[in-house]
Amino acid sequence: RVPIPDELIPADAHVEIAAKKAAGYFSPEAPTPKDLNDAIGRSLEKY
């Protein structure tokens, strides 16, 4: 993961990039193994 400098993002793409960041598409650091093992939401038994 490498952050893209603002000057390399086209002017018409800033809104889309900001929306992706707000939706969780961006994280400044990689997830830890514990983060990847933690369940979010319902367990499989509850489906």
Q: Alpha helix (H) ranges present in 1-47?
A: 14-22, 33-37
Question: 0.75 cut: is pTM over it?
Answer: no
Residues 1-47: pLDDT tens digits? 677 888 999 989 999 988 988 887 877 778 889 888 887 888 778 77
